Amino acid sequence: MSETTSNAFVMTSAEVRHLLDVAHDGGYAYPAINVSNLDTAIAAMQGLEQANSAGFVQVSIGAAKQASPSGDPVDGSIIIGRLMRDLRKLHHVPIMLHTDHCHADYVDTWLKPLLVELKRLRDAGEEKIFDSFMFDGSHDEIHDNAATIRELLPMVQAVDGVLEVEAGGKWGGMEDGVADKAVYSTPEDVAVIQRTFTDAGLDEDDYLLAVAFGNAHGTAVIPDLKPELLAEIAEKTGVRNMYVFHGGSGSSDADVRAAVKDGVVKMNVDTDTQYEFTNGIDAFLVAADGKQRSHREGKKFFDPRKWNAAGRKAMAEKVSRVAELLGSAGHADAVSYRSVLDPVVS
């Protein structure tokens, strides 16, 4: 296989689904790392490369707004998405590009217009940018949630994407407007979402499903995880799910491993990696404190290239450790991955 082919590539939705299926069958999950700029994107991908792990690199609406000079999340998504698309070509592990947590309030101002713009770019011949998209309907009544999924699904399919959704419940933490513990998803709510995809001719391997099993975004609320709920839902609905673990930061290693055992194939990590990036910078500056930091001699300390490099290194190491915890480290054999899907490549 040529060097160009063995490098990371733009993935089809079938290839994304294949990677998820392999993880599910193999009993491991992929890290999903939120990024906000060039340096954090480099760190996320370097961490996956160091661990020899496939994974997701994803952008929230906040990061998308920050990436746009005008604060427009659609423009910002395209800007940072193109940056990530070009970066992953320099790596040898499969990296999936994802838009994270679009609450119902932002569907009409972010996700739908983004999908329209991505379709326009696709029709104009531009290389694909994002591989998957997340709609967070957890704050909606379950049938309203399903109705929005029905609207979004053909738009996602038009850009050859995979859709990630939520099925009832709420995560703990003020980031989601929930001051206390999470509200747990129920098998009944999950069944409604599953039927929405079944009615569209899809099965459980064609989408990602996040359920609330005690998760908490951020670290202000300690998660009260019940990973066994994942297996219970699968048993009661009779459907094997491609579960997503939201709010992985701050969770115990034991709970993470239990959730993966019960079907999680993707775990979102944001707060912990944000902390490692900033802590790496802080440690660099603290180490420099007291040394020669005059205008001339101190450039090696205050030059952003120096402290950004320290942040990237710390964050990359954290991403690698997350991959080890999830069991995905060492499984990113890009050659066999591609050969399974495209036997004619040589």
Q: Is 100 a catalytic residue?
A: yes
d(C-alpha 243, C-alpha 230), whole Å: 8
**pLDDT range class, residue 10, cuts 50, 70, 90:** confident
Specify the pLDDT at position 344.
36
Q: Is residue 314 in some structural domain? A: no
pTM reported for the whole predicted model? 0.90
d(C-alpha 66, C-alpha 225), whole Å: 32
d(C-alpha 262, C-alpha 268), whole Å: 16
Q: Is residue 81 in some structural domain? A: yes
Domain of residue 72, residue span: 3-271+328-341
Catalytic residue among 25, 72, 75, 100: 100
Q: Is residue 305 in some structural domain? A: no
- Other residues' Cβ atoms within 10 Å of the Cβ of residue 125: 6
**pLDDT range class, residue 295, cuts 50, 70, 90:** low
| Model pLDDT for residues 228-285, shown as the tens digit of each residue | 999 999 999 999 999 999 877 778 899 999 999 999 999 999 888 999 999 999 888 8
CATH of the domain at 160: 3.20.20.70
**Which residue did the predictor score with more confidence, 224 or 57?**
57
Mean pLDDT for 110-137 is 97
Q: Is residue 282 in some structural domain? A: no
Pairing verdict, β 30-34 and 95-103: unpaired
Mean pLDDT for 61-75 is 97
214 labeled part of a ligand binding site: no
271 labeled part of a ligand binding site: yes
6 labeled part of a ligand binding site: no
State yes or no: pLDDT of 175 exceeds 60: no
Q: How many domains does the chain have?
A: 1
166 labeled part of a ligand binding site: yes
Q: Is residue 131 in some structural domain? A: yes
Out of 116-125, 177-186, 218-227, give the one with best mean pLDDT.
116-125
> Which of 131-135, 215-219, 279-283 has the lowest average pLDDT?
215-219
Q: Is residue 304 in some structural domain? A: no
Q: Is residue 69 in some structural domain? A: yes
State yes or no: pLDDT of 340 exceeds 60: no
247 labeled part of a ligand binding site: yes
Q: Is residue 120 in some structural domain? A: yes
